[in-house]
């Protein structure tokens, strides 16, 4: 089992920045894919970025160019640095993980991720 706990959400004005964190615990060791998703009210959950154990990354078009995913293996923590935030970025941001699939397979298909955090709210105002 893997437990994920997000933090770092909040309210910012347009153009501002936030860094989200996702602390992982449990059985996540060698081969894994971790990702950030987001879900705005009334919309489907969509991928933002993912990263595997070898620090290979991929970014979805949703926020490409404005976000950076990174991890601290020693702390088992995943990060999402978000810059130049826009009101349309307002959403609940979720951390997800899978040990079944490589990131190139899981991509941004939410159904392929087995573990999810509780989410952290990000609100961007004009």
One digit per residue, pLDDT tens: the chain, 126 residues?
899 999 999 999 999 999 999 999 987 777 899 999 999 999 999 999 999 999 999 999 989 999 999 999 888 999 999 999 999 999 999 999 999 889 988 899 999 999 999 999 999 999
pLDDT given at position 79:
98
Taking the C-alpha atoms of residue 95 and residue 6, their distance in angstroms, rounded to an integer, is 7
pLDDT given at position 28:
76
Q: Are 27 and 41 in contact (CB under 8 A)?
A: no
Q: Are 22 and 38 in contact (CB under 8 A)?
A: no
Cα of 59 vs its chain's centroid, Å: 10
pLDDT given at position 84:
98
């Amino acid at each position: 089992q893997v437990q994920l706990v997000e933090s770092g959400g909040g309210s910012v004005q347009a153009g501002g920045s936030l860094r989200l964190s996702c602390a992982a615990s449990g059985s996540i060791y060698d081969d894994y894919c971790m990702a950030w998703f987001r879900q705005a009210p009334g919309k489907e959950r969509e991928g933002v970025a993912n990263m595997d154990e070898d620090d290979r990354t991929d970014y979805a078009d949703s926020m490409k160019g404005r976000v950076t995913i990174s991890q601290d293996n020693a702390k088992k923590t995943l990060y999402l640095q978000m810059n130049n935030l826009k009101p349309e970025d307002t959403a609940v941001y979720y951390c997800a993980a899978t040990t079944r699939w490589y990131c190139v397979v899981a991509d941004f298909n939410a159904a392929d991720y087995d573990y999810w955090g509780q989410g952290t709210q990000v609100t961007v105002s004009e």
